[in-house]
Amino acid sequence: MPPINGKKYIDQTLTQIKQRTAAGERVAVSFDIDNTLFDTRGRAFAIGKEFDKANGTTYFKGKTSKQMGNDAKETAKLMKMTPEHAKKFSSFWFPRFFKGENYKNDLQIRQTVALAKKAAAAGADVFYVTARTQSEETFTIKQLEKAGLPTVDANFVVSKPKMKDKTPEYKAGTLAQIDQQYDFVGWFITESRADIAGVQNLNSNVTSVLLETKFSGERKVDEDTPIWKIDVK
Give the per-residue pLDDT at 231: 86
User: What CA–CA distances, in Å, run from 35 to 152, 184, 214?
Assistant: 18, 25, 10
Give the per-residue pLDDT at 233: 72
pLDDT in tens, 139-198: 999 999 999 999 898 899 999 999 889 898 999 999 999 999 999 999 999 999 999 999
Give the per-residue pLDDT at 209: 97
Q: Where are the domains of the chain?
A: 4-39+107-229, 41-104
Above 70 in pLDDT, residue 49?
A: yes
Q: Helix or strand or coil: residue 2?
A: coil
Question: Nearest-CA neighbor of 187 among 8, 3, 2, 23?
Answer: 8
Supply the CATH classification number for the domain 4-39+107-229. 3.40.50.1000
